[in-house]
Amino acid sequence: MPCASGTRAMTAEFLITSMAVIILPGTGVLYTLAWGLGRGWTASILAAFGCTMGITPHIATSIAGLAALLHASPLVFQGFKYLGAAYLLYMAWNVLREDGPLRVDAERKAMPAAKIVINGIAINILNPKLSLFFLAFLPQFVPQADPSPAFIMFYLALVFMVLTFLVFVIYGYFASLVRSHILARPQVLSWFRRGFALAFGLLALRLAFSTM
């Protein structure tokens, strides 16, 4: 019974910690909100799915121990970091453009679902700090005596991804709810576009100047 009690406590701690990490606004939240405001809830669901799938490679490399190699190789880490920062700046430019694919306006021009998903995947794949995060985060919730730590980490990672998707969908839903109110105010639209662009730009700078 003590083991079962300890496992439940560890699971609860994992869920609480995961929710705290996921709820904090980051690139995935920002990307999902932009699509929720710009194209509605359906587009935000696609964005949330893409961002969630973008976590998968980082989880896989962390479980396989490859993230340790990334951490030990400053050159590789720097390369991924600057590539990710450049992509975030590209997203900032896209949001800022009046005719950009992420513009927040009343027009609903067709946008391929695959493009929304792929951009969301790229945002998270190109952030090398996610691999280091999972490398440090997941092992903390694996019992030392567990005979199959890789399986436990895989299970925890799957739970983390499900939580991520659900939280992002909720963000997108609320963004879509206020969409009509924002569309009715052109000046607010302009400030939202600039705000999203600035946020993406700041995230790019933070990633570019971050250390291992």
Domain annotation covers residue 100: yes
How many CA atoms lie within 13 Å of 39's alpha carbon, on the beta-carbon side?
A: 21
Domain annotation covers residue 137: yes
Region 37-42 average pLDDT:
85
Domain annotation covers residue 14: no
Region 96-124 average pLDDT:
71
Domain annotation covers residue 47: yes
pLDDT per position as a tens digit, 149-186: 778 888 888 999 999 999 999 999 998 888 877 766 76
CA 166 to chain centre: 12
Domain annotation covers residue 13: no
Give residue 118's pLDDT band: very low, low, confident or very high (50, 70, 90).
very high
- Please give the DSSP secondary-structure letter assigned to residue 146: -
Domain annotation covers residue 3: no
Q: Kindly tell me if the per-residue pLDDT of 211 is higher than 70.
A: no
Domain annotation covers residue 5: no
Cβ-contact 71, 135 below 8 angstroms: yes
Q: How far apart are CA 41 and CA 210, in angstroms?
A: 33
Number of domains, the chain: 1
The pTM assigned to this predicted structure is 0.72
Full domain range(s) for residue 88: 27-208
Q: How far apart are CA 64 and CA 114, in angstroms?
A: 28
Which residue has 């590539």 as its token pair?
Answer: 83
User: What's the pLDDT at 164?
Assistant: 93
Across the chain, mean pLDDT equals 76
Cβ-contact 63, 138 below 8 angstroms: yes
Domain annotation covers residue 4: no
Measuring CA to CA, which residue among 53, 89, 96 is closest to residue 189? 96
Q: Kindly tell me if the per-residue pLDDT of 94 is higher than 70.
A: yes
Measuring CA to CA, which residue among 141, 166, 144, 168 is closest to residue 155? 141
Give residue 6's pLDDT band: very low, low, confident or very high (50, 70, 90).
very low
Q: CA angle, corner 114, sides to 57 and 134, nearest 5?
A: 20
